[in-house]
Amino acid sequence: MTIQIQGELNAADKSFAIVVSRFNDLITRRLVDGACDIITRLGGQEDLITIVWVPGSFEIPLAAARLARSGKYSAVICLGAVIQGSTSHHEYINSQVASGIMQLNLETGVPVTFGIITCESMEQALDRAGGKVGNKGVEAATAAVEMVNLLKKI
């Protein structure tokens, strides 16, 4: 018989840090709302959620690193919105932020989830911030809850 292990979607008594970019805050505020809403719906407490605002997505990994290493949080949830412009600027931000966040997961052992929308237009971003394609903040927070519980078992 196979052994199958997965993390429960139970956020009770867990503390979460949310790092969120102020750049494109029309979008990122919706991601924060989605993340906080799902954490409390999964049994988490609002007073165990800390929200840290940074200027732009590029600054997310440094703040997330400080939070992950502090030992105060069960998981760190990273939220941002990088919308493609007329130059390749966004590509540098996306690749650096994604690899910075992955590196933090492996170095700290603390789940650091990726809720950064990377898309071509404001319309696509709105679709992913509570519109017709869901909410990346909800996804990233749900993944954080699941990983915290999974890591306790393996």
| Residue 89 within binding range of ligand INI, rule CB under 6 A | yes
Q: How big is the site for ligand INI, counted in residues (CB under 6 A)?
A: 16
Nearest CB to ligand INI, comparing residues 13 and 120:
120
Of the candidate spans 3-11, 63-71, 80-88, 102-110, the one that interacts with ligand INI by CB under 6 A turns out to be 80-88
- Residue 16 near residue 73 (C-beta atoms within 8 A): yes
Output the CA torsion sign for 49, 50, 54, 59: negative
**Greatest distance between any 2 Cα atoms in the chain:** 54
Q: Does 109 bind ligand INI (CB under 6 A)?
A: no
By CB under 6 A, name the one of 57, 105, 142, 149 that touches ligand INI. 57
80 is a contact residue toward ligand INI (CB under 6 A): yes
Ranges within 6-25 binding ligand INI (CB under 6 A): 21, 23-24
In the block, tokens 């200027």 appear at: 55
Q: Which of 55, 89, 107, 152 is catalytic?
A: 89
Mode of pairing for the β-strands spanning 129-131 and 134-135:
antiparallel
Per-residue tokens: 107: 């170095």
Three-class secondary structure of residue 149 per DSSP: helix
Examine the residue annotation and report whether 90 is marked as an active-site residue of this protein: no
Residue 73, phi then psi, degrees to nearest 5: -120, 140
- Residues of this chain that bind ligand INI (CB under 6 A): 21, 23-24, 55-59, 80-83, 85, 89-90, 93
Residues labelled catalytic:
89
